[in-house]
Amino acid sequence: MYQLKRKQLVKTDLQTCWDFFSSPKNLKEITPDYMGFDVKTEIPEKMYEGLMIEYKVTPLLNIPMNWITEIKYVHDKKFFVDEQRKGPYSMWHHEHHFEEVDEGVMMTDIVSYRVPLGFLGKLAHPIIVKGKLEEIFDYRVKKVDEIFNS
């Protein structure tokens, strides 16, 4: 299993931060355009445990795929967890943590994942998967800075 961790200071109040990041409607705004990210599911106003969300993404070689995640846990204004039910990973568990600090909100992402294809997946991880995932989260940091920290 692999893990990616990111922390970012978001210069806003906790409620505004939570409202933005807990809404799947805002995911497209913080995802690189080349991913072709498109939410296919009707999204409710408020996230809840058990919510299933279907996306279309083109993460590699412009090949479209469906990705379905389930909102597994929600603790209002503290954290939420999404897990892949169908998609490119053998396992995907994404924790989103929010902590109020003097300057705003410290947001922490912890993504635990497994790549498919056994030995071939392990070979591809450092060459393709790890870099692509880091690139996506680097983009996210940049966009969040533009939205909240400029």
pTM recorded for the entire structure: 0.92
Spatial distance between the Cα atoms of 119 and 77, rounded to a whole number of angstroms: 40
Residue 111: its pLDDT value, please? 97
For the chain, the farthest-separated pair of C-alpha atoms sits apart, in whole angstroms, at 46
Spatial distance between the Cα atoms of 117 and 13, rounded to a whole number of angstroms: 43
Residue ranges for the chain with pLDDT beneath 50: none
Residue 54: its pLDDT value, please? 95
Residue 5: its pLDDT value, please? 97
Q: Domain 2-148: give its CATH code.
A: 3.30.530.20
Residue 58: its pLDDT value, please? 84
Residue 83: its pLDDT value, please? 98
Residue 74: its pLDDT value, please? 97
**What confidence tens digit (pLDDT) does each residue in 75-101 have?**
999 999 999 999 989 999 999 999 999
Residue 62: its pLDDT value, please? 77
What residues does each domain of the chain span? Answer: 2-148
